[in-house]
Structure 1
Amino acid sequence: MPRSAPLLPTPLVPTALLLAGALALTACDGGVHGTPGGSGLRDPYFPKMGNGGYDVTHYALDLAYDPDANRLSGTATLTARATQDLTAFDLDLDGLDVEKVTVGGRAARWNRAGQELTVRPHDDLEEDRVFRVTVAYSGTPKTITDPDGSKEGWLETEDGAVALGEPTGSMAWFPGNHHPSDKASYDLTITVPKGLQAVSNGELTASRTSGGRTTTTWHTAEPMAGYLATLAIGDYDVHSSTTADGLPVYTAVDPAEAAASRKVLAQIPAVMKWAQDTFGPYPFSSTGAIVDRAGDAEYALETQNRPFFPGAPDTETLVHELAHQWYGDSVTPKTWRDMWLNEGFATYAEWLWDEDHGGDSAQKTFDALYDHGEDDYDDLWDFPPGKPSSAAHLSDSPVYQRGAMVLHKIRQRLGDTAFRALLRDWPTTHRHGNADTEDFTSYVEDLAPDEDFGPVWEQWLYGDGKPAQP
């Protein structure tokens, strides 16, 4: 049942709010004929995710979590720019109880309907106006079941919780514009019982313990899609170091997984060196990993800066998730239809790692997959990577394995030298941005204008069934 808040009293004189030493929000005093922002961006697979009418530039999250009660309370402050004249706008928030909403420091009306939190500012917002919306909320955060049956959102663990967001889970623990096309910087402050650690994205900038509670603050300067935000709370062995070129490495490992993880996590500097040689300059300011207990989640995830692993990863999985920092995290898809650009590149990174470290060549891996891949992936030819059959199949093997096969067919046509340049130049060109499949195919065609890539797109990227080999 939709919930709504009463109209709250507002002061007679509007308040000017200085935005981090930049633009000030001045309430409109008439003359604006705006419309509500859209509820949902009509994504091909998740049409209600994200919202129209504004662009978020920064999230400031101030949270507290009680593991015994599984209760989360917080205040989320979003800095955003109106992309049209606005009378109202929506935020994605699934569950939790909203207590108060303000826009520009003034009380705003709001109502709930499913995952939509609709906010009506005291005064309309002009196009290009920078504004702040603050939401105070609390309650028991939800675990969301994906269309494919996997669990995300807020996952309770034996000693705390972990928040995972792909594709829709972030709306279970903070309100926002939760579509990959709207990226922002983040500051997250989290308070937990003393004795537990809380690990998030970016850099740890402060930590203090008082009155039986520990508060830590994390800063993510580079733009991040909401689905890549994470928060892991529990008992962790934390280790900080640097790579040979000075990149900070921060790992947090559940003590039960410490012994099994030690050898593979020690490879992070070597994997990062190889990845930078292969994919170009690293797009973020730190790296690392979060390793929780096996069973705390059903999958690894490329959470920005430090991927999450349920149990000790093997080398191939580590390579896969670190490659995502270029392909998926820095260059983020415009819609979920473009997910093969994330998973195809990360899967092909595994093939390249083997090729560059004395294992099978990528050609041999491709041939084996083509000849008898159905033995390991019975759905391999069920649909093409460029158009998954439904949201329930976004993480199926065609997106990963056939996505990598598309890249190998491009490599065959470009040649090794040009393809290796593509691996570096594509993420550099779209660094910290968004791109879709059309952007990528056009980019490839521009690299070799005399080459016909039509058969690659028609048969391997978009074609149904098993393509015929020439």
Structure 2
Amino acid sequence: MGSNMRWVALLLAALISVLGCAPVDKPPSLADHRLDDPPLTGPRPGAVGIGDPDFPADGNGGYDVSHYDLAIDYVPLTKQLQGTTKIQAAATQDLSSFDLDLHGLTVSKVTVDNSTAAFRRQGDELTVTPAEPIDNKSRFTVKVVYSGQPQPIKDSANLGTFGFVATPDGAFVASEPDGSKTWFPNNDHPSDKATYDFTITVPAGVTALANGEQVGRPTTAQGKTTFRWRERHPMASYLATATMGKFDLREGRTPAGIPETAAVDPKFKTSLDKLFRLSGEITDYWSTVFGPYPFSSTGGIIDDYAAGYALENQTKPLYGGFSPGQDIIAHELAHQWFGDSLTIKRWRELWLNEGFATYAEWLWSEHKSGKTADAIFNELHARPASDPIWTYPPGRARPDDLFGTSVYVRGAMTLQALRRAIGDATFFKLLKTWTADHRYGLVTTDEFIRLAEQLSGKDLHPLFDAWLFQPTRPA
């Protein structure tokens, strides 16, 4: 990610974090502190990295974001973006400086509480030094003005190309795992969730779609149209989108009355009604299985960019260059509960997102009188002992293969093994209790195991250990 001096800086920042900085977990674990060390006092820099050992440069310490107000003006012809991001945050320590994540782009001005702040760039880190230190627990507002051509991230080990991806008529914006920094400065880690406002200006004739609900009607002046969207529920940064292009739209409500927006590139015009119908039907069904829908609208977007994947962008799953079938729509909409409303604290626990969403595909098959989840489980369990899903336990996703098949498939098998062990009544009660207890919050595997044991009255550690953490095929 940079020169040798860059790595020295990262190591020094990590040392500061271990000695005195608790960027995310509240309160910090005693394991993060030596009891004989004197407490650190006075303003100090926020940590470079939020504390995720598998992604040490992602996110930042010393503050917690509550709201992002994004204003971007994008011209597809030149691929030029002009942006202003306002960030409302609260300090979690006395801060002399703090970092934001930003990939590429040129920063022209930064203010903190309306006062000009000094800033410097090193790799994907934007370090901000306010005119005056920020006191612990104080609320503050950062404003960053920036511009340039967004550069997506190309990572063959994970999702391929992700972030802000230019298209001929706009942009395909899918940021998992850490691509939101390609289009706005932020605390780019799922453990710092915030609400969002989007103001997106594009050439007239282009549509801009973002999370949440549209605020007012688009306004057009001097050949440009401005769209405003608001997501008032907490959202991880990787779920934010500002997808732009020429789209056919259908707006309405699901059969149960949830507002819905479906949008498709004209190339997929014949899929618009199917996307709208299935997204509404599946959202409503999952509300009976997983508990009330956690957000204020649902839907989906099909863009003409051959990403080769779909992403569960909050309220508007994004399908990259294909018309999704029922199973994929069921998967992405299940993520609205598992991943979007309930968000993992660390990337290593990704099975809590992908295992649950994959299992939702099996539940949808059951619901539609297809193969049962148990039948699918049996077919997969018959794979030979040499199959990679048995040597790669899903309970700890690998940073160099974050979206490995085992995280999805064996993660889902873990849930079917659990369902067999505790019975349907307890299992489905567990799913609803899990989503209710942690609505809009952060979750861990240990918390899920504790709840499963509490509701079932059984010692389930051997089951979870065998399915999530052992590199052999469970019996």
Task: Give the TM-score taking structure 2 as reference length.
Answer: 0.89
CA, structure 1 residues 147+435, in 2 after alignment: closer, same or farther (shift >3 Å)?
Answer: farther
Letter in 1 for 2:92: T
Alpha-carbon separation, structure 2, partners of 1:355 and 1:131: 50
Number of residues paired by the alignment? 434
The alignment status of 1:143 with 2:152, answered yes or no, reads yes
Letter in 1 for 2:201: T
Q: Deviation digits for residues 21-53 of structure 1, max 9, x if unmatched?
A: xxxxxxxxxxx8211110102313211111110
Shift of 1:264: 4.2
CA, structure 1 residues 459+169, in 2 after alignment: closer, same or farther (shift >3 Å)?
Answer: same
Shift of 1:270: 1.5
Residue of structure 2 equivalent to 1:204? 214
Aligned match of 1:57 in 49, 66, 81? Answer: 66
Residue of structure 1 equivalent to 2:10? none
Shift of 1:294: 5.1
Residue of structure 2 equivalent to 1:455? 462
The alignment status of 1:416 with 2:424, answered yes or no, reads yes
The alignment status of 1:152 with 2:162, answered yes or no, reads yes
CA, structure 1 residues 151+321, in 2 after alignment: closer, same or farther (shift >3 Å)?
Answer: same
The 8 Å contact of residues 264 and 271 in structure 2, kept in 1 or not, is answered as no
Q: Deviation digits for residues 381-415 of structure 1, max 9, x if unmatched?
A: 23101113x31211111000000011111111111
The 8 Å contact of residues 147 and 391 in structure 1, kept in 2 or not, is answered as no
Residue of structure 1 equivalent to 2:415? 407
Alpha-carbon separation, structure 1, partners of 2:108 and 2:171: 23
Letter in 2 for 1:140: Q
Residue of structure 2 equivalent to 1:162? 172
Shift of 1:260: 3.5
Shift of 1:147: 5.5
Residue of structure 2 equivalent to 1:279? 290
The 8 Å contact of residues 66 and 193 in structure 1, kept in 2 or not, is answered as yes
Letter in 2 for 1:464: P
Residue of structure 2 equivalent to 1:103? 112
Shift of 1:379: 2.9
Aligned match of 1:379 in 384, 388, 395? Answer: 388
Letter in 1 for 2:126: L
Secondary structure class of the residue paired with 2:331 = helix
The alignment status of 1:245 with 2:256, answered yes or no, reads yes
Letter in 1 for 2:444: D
Residue of structure 1 equivalent to 2:193? 183
Alpha-carbon separation, structure 2, partners of 1:71 and 1:382: 46
Alpha-carbon separation, structure 1, partners of 2:42 and 2:55: 30
Secondary structure class of the residue paired with 1:33 = coil
The 8 Å contact of residues 184 and 224 in structure 1, kept in 2 or not, is answered as yes
Alpha-carbon separation, structure 1, partners of 2:406 and 2:356: 13
Aligned match of 1:442 in 445, 450, 454? Answer: 450
Aligned match of 2:333 in 322, 328, 351? Answer: 322
Alpha-carbon separation, structure 2, partners of 1:174 and 1:156: 15
Residue of structure 2 equivalent to 1:262? 273
Shift of 1:225: 0.3
Q: Deviation digits for residues 227-286 of structure 1, max 9, x if unmatched?
A: 000111100001110123321001111010121353243122221221001000000000
Alpha-carbon separation, structure 1, partners of 2:384 and 2:226: 49
Q: Deviation digits for residues 359-381 of structure 1, max 9, x if unmatched?
A: 11111110001113889xx5322
Residue of structure 2 equivalent to 1:346? 357
Secondary structure class of the residue paired with 2:323 = coil
Task: Give the TM-score taking structure 1 as reference length.
Answer: 0.90
Residue of structure 2 equivalent to 1:24? none
Secondary structure class of the residue paired with 2:389 = coil
- Structure 2 unaligned residues grouped into runs of 5+: 4-40
